[in-house]
Structure 1
C-alpha cells in the first residue's frame, strides 16, 4: 500500500511541477519586449514590499478594478506554491523542519522570480515572493498537521 501511495504522490508531484512550469513560463502575460534587458529589468521589477498587494487591496475596496483580477493574482500566488509545502517534505526528509524548508523555498522562489525576469516571462516582484512563501508555508503547516494527526492516530491504536 505504501508503494502505491508513493507512486500516486510521485505522479501528482510531477503533474504539479509540469503545470507550475507552464503557468510560470509558458503562458503569455504580455511581457514580451524588444527593449534592452537592463531597461526591461528596471521597468519590470518591484522591490517595495506590499506595493502590489496594497494596490490590489485598494482596488478591491474602492471597486476601481474588476474584482477577479486582484483576487486571481493574490490567491493565485498563494495557491501556486502551496503544494510544495506538502510534496517537498514528503519526498525530501531533511525538509521536514521549518527552517530547512523555509530556506529551500526562499532559494527556489527567488530563482523562479529571477528566471522569469531574465527570460522576460514575467517580472521580479517582492510581493509575488511574499505571497508564494505564504502559500508554501500554509502547505507546510498542512503537511505537519497531517503527519501529526497520523502519529496521534497510531499512538492511540497501540
Structure 2
C-alpha cells in the first residue's frame, strides 16, 4: 500500500508541476505591453506594495465594481496554487522543518516571479507572492497533521 501511495503521489506531483508551468508561463496572461522595452514592461507590470492588489480585489468584491470572477480567481487561485507544494515538498524531502520549507518556497516564488517578469509572461506582484506563500504554509500545516502523515507515510 505504501508503494502505491508513493507512486500515486509521484505521478500527481509531476502533473501538478506541469499544471504550474502552464498556469504560470504558458497561458495567456492578459498583458498587451509586449512591444515595450523590458524596463518599461517591468515598471508597468510590477507591484512591490504589499496588499495593494489584494485590497483592490477585496474592495471590488464588496462594491461590485468588478466582474466577480476576476478577484475570486486571483485571490483564491493564487492561494490554492501553491497549497499542494506544502504537502509535496515535505513528503519528498524528509525531515524538512518550517524554516527550511519557508526559505525554499520564498526562493522558488521569487524565481518564478522574476522569470514571469523577464519573459513578459506575467508580472512581479508581491501580493501574488504573499498569497502563494500563505497557501504553501497552509499546505505544510495540513502535512503536519498526524492523520495526514499516517495516511501518506
| TM-score normalised according to structure 1 size | 0.91
Kindly indicate whether residue 62 of structure 2 is the aligned counterpart of residue 61 of structure 1. Answer: yes
Instruction: Show the 5 A alignment for 1:105-144.
Output: 105-144=105-144
| Residues 31-54 of structure 1: CA deviation (Å, up to 9, x unaligned) | 251110011011111000000000
In structure 2, the gaps of 5 or more residues are none
User: Which residue does the alignment assign to 1:87?
Assistant: 88
* Cα-to-partner distance string for 1:46-86 (whole Å, 9 max, x where unaligned): 00000000000111111101111101100000000000000
Q: Is this contact kept in 2: 1:85–1:143, CA < 8 A?
A: yes
Partner residue in 2 for 1:50: 51
Structure 2 match to 1:156: none
Cα contact 1:46–1:126 (8 A) shared by 2: yes
Aligned CA RMSD, in angstroms, stands at: 1.5
Per-residue Cα deviation, 1:83-125 (whole angstroms, up to 9, x for no partner): 0000000001143x11110000000011100000000000000
**Cα deviation, residue 4, structure 1:** 1.4
In structure 1, stretches of 5+ residues that fail to align are 154-158
Secondary structure of residue in 1 paired with 2:31: coil
CA 21–150 in structure 1, closer or farther in 2 if over 3 Å, else same: closer
- How many residue pairs get aligned? The number is 150
Which of structures 1 and 2 has the bigger CA Rg?
1
Aligned counterpart in structure 2 of residue 149 of structure 1, from 144, 147, 150:
147
- 1:93 is paired with a residue whose SS is coil
